[in-house]
Amino acid sequence: MTRLSAASLDANGKHRAAAEGTTIRPGIVHLGLGAFARAHTAVFTEDAMLATGSSDWGIVGVTQRSDTVARQLAPQDGLFTVAERGSGAAPLRVVSSIVEAISGRDRPEAVVDRIAADSTRVVTLTVTEKGYRIDPHTGSLNLADEQVRADLAGKPPLTAIGQITRGIQKRALTGGGPLTVVSCDNLPGNGELTGTLVRAFAAALPDTERTPLLTWLEDNVTFPSTMVDRMVPATTSRDLDAVEHELGLRDEAAVVAEPFMQWVIEDNFAGDRPAWEEAGALFSHDVAAWEAAKLRLLNASHSLLAYLGLAAGLDTISDAVGEDSFRRACRLMLAEDALPTVSLPDGLDGETYCAQILQRFANPALGHTTAKVGSDGSQKIGLRLLTTIRANLDAGREPRWAALAVAAWMHHVATTPAAGLNDPLAAELQAVLPADRRADTVIPALLTCRSVFDAEIAADSTFAGLLLHWYRIIDTQGLDGLRNEINHG
């Protein structure tokens, strides 16, 4: 089968790229070219260009740890397909906003050059929680991280923060214009955080580099926060075959996604930006509230369903939410633990939002796996669940359902064979686990893990009691016991 490319698409009678015939020039460097970026940021950016007739916002995409996507996109002239799945799905769409794909691992100097280039006015990033190299104890850059140290020592940078800071440093030296760095990861205050990490990197450089760089950063670079939302599972070979069937061309970089997508952006740009509002993005002064609501409502329930699903041997989120008792646990977590302790931004109705997310989870066509959503739990549960748990404990309430999610995560950690635990802290978590894995041995052991639980929450007896209660049921009574407890709880 012929491979997707500009020429083969041109010759293909069935489908056209929306921006066909336009020469798109680079304006954005995007770090982290995973499926999410292709199905979200690249689509918003193409839509903004289409809506305004501008062609200056092409994306130079950079893959981080693996070069797979750069290799997939290279022979395709950066083209890829977005296949929406589920009710309301739009027809197949070929996206052409990516004008170059670089393997950051193999061509780190090129990444620095592109960030420094005059044509670049915006850097966007989707590198996942662990890509920021945060020290869980300080909340700032992990200066003990080997890769961060290598980047600081002057090696061609491989971490996202190293790439951004070295790119900005070169930009400052070559007289480049202002730059806006837009984080698109599920982290509270992701813009402020990215700014803190970049400044921490700059501050750790030798004196002669540090001062001019920090001054330039202050005067020329902004870090707006954003809230991004679209469920994008990992593409499977079956998805690729289905796209090939429909498109009539082979696209190795195709992505599947739910029809829903949302982007809330803080209007704090140092210079020009794409007219993302023309593509449906919302510019807001209250991004922190949007992000907190998304993390503590949507992502928290996603994690709850993922770990309950994993415990029950269910492969997908739609299977997990299809289990009545799990859906009930989710509803109760939202209504009793999360909604009363989160402040919603203007324009967001909590009950409508919660009903909508449960409906989105139930999309049977998406194939979002519990394994994927359950991955990297050590990076996620603090932001999604422990925030809610602490707020309830502080208010003298028992966060029963959020604690169920954490207990189910603990069960996942304790019962997954060592090599199979997909988590950057797998070794640290496994090192504290006891040989004899029962509720009363596993829970105190995992609570000692300070990268996940701070001393205060770890010492809270109400929280520990809830964890013990749920862990015992999951571990010894299986699905029937869990159903029973949830339904009568």
Of 230 and 273, the one with the shorter C-beta distance to ligand CS2 is: 230
Of 24 and 373, the one with the shorter C-beta distance to ligand CS2 is: 373
Of 247 and 373, the one with the shorter C-beta distance to ligand CS2 is: 373
Of 296 and 483, the one with the shorter C-beta distance to ligand CS2 is: 296
Q: How far is the CB of 210 from ligand CS2 (least distance, A)?
A: 35
Contact, 482 vs 312, CB < 8 A?
Answer: yes
Q: How far is the CB of 317 from ligand CS2 (least distance, A)?
A: 8
Starting at the edge strand found earlier in the chain, the sheet holding 122-125 runs 98-103, 58-63, 26-31, 122-125, 179-183, 221-222
Q: How far is the CB of 360 from ligand CS2 (least distance, A)?
A: 9
Contact, 189 vs 282, CB < 8 A?
Answer: no
- The torsion angles phi and psi of 81, rounded to 5 degrees, stand at -105, 140
Pick the closest to residue 197 from 133, 150, 154 (CA basis).
133
Please report, as ranges, the residues that interact with ligand CS2 according to CB under 6 A.
Answer: 186, 229-231, 299, 302, 372-373, 380
Q: How far is the CB of 98 from ligand CS2 (least distance, A)?
A: 20
Contact, 321 vs 358, CB < 8 A?
Answer: yes
Q: How many CB atoms lie within 10 A of CB 413?
A: 24
Of 151 and 423, the one with the shorter C-beta distance to ligand CS2 is: 423
Give the pairing of strands 80-84 and 93-95. antiparallel
Contact, 78 vs 99, CB < 8 A?
Answer: yes
Q: Which helix (H) or strand (E) holds 183?
A: strand 179-183
- From CA 265, how far away is CA 286, in angstroms rounded? 9
- The torsion angles phi and psi of 177, rounded to 5 degrees, stand at -85, -175
Of 296 and 302, the one with the shorter C-beta distance to ligand CS2 is: 302
- From CA 263, how far away is CA 456, in angstroms rounded? 34
Q: How far is the CB of 10 from ligand CS2 (least distance, A)?
A: 34
Of 128 and 165, the one with the shorter C-beta distance to ligand CS2 is: 128
Q: How far is the CB of 487 from ligand CS2 (least distance, A)?
A: 25
Q: How far is the CB of 233 from ligand CS2 (least distance, A)?
A: 8
